[in-house]
Amino acid sequence: MSALDQIRETIEQNDVVLFMKGNKMMPQCGFSSRVAGILNYMGIDYADVNVLADAEIRQGIKDFSDWPTIPQLYVKGEFVGGCDIVTEMTLSGELDTLLENSGVAFDKEKADQIRAANG
C-alpha cells in the first residue's frame, strides 16, 4: 500500500486525525504539542500519526493536503489546517462549531476554559 493510500485510509477510518511529529502523549515539536494539547484538553478522541516514524508518510501528507507543514488536522475527512489555524479556530469558537456540525464529541466547558485563559 502506498503512503498516499495509507493516509487516505487513516483519514477515512477516523473521525479526527492529527498528523504530527511524535504522538499525542509525547509530541516532538512545539507546534504538534500545541495542537495535541488542545485536542487532549478538550477530550477529543483522535488518531495520531507520527510522521517522524515514516519518511514516506511525512512527505506524503504534505503532498496529499498540498500543505507544507506539520501538524495537520483532519475532521471527518476534511483538512482543517495546521497549528496557527487550529489555535485561531479554538480561540474564536470555530473549532467548536466544526466539531458540533461534524458530530464529534468534545468537552465544551474545557473549550470555554481555553478561550477564557487566552482572552
Which residues participate in the annotated binding site for [2Fe-2S] cluster? 29
Cα-based angle 12, 19, 39 (whole degrees, multiple of 5): 90
What three-state secondary structure class fits 20?
strand
- How many whole angstroms separate alpha carbon 25 and alpha carbon 40? 9
Binding residues: 29
| Spatial strand order in the sheet of 47-50 | 47-50, 16-20, 72-75, 78-81
The DSSP symbol for 44 reads -
In DSSP terms, 74 is beta-bridged to 17, 79
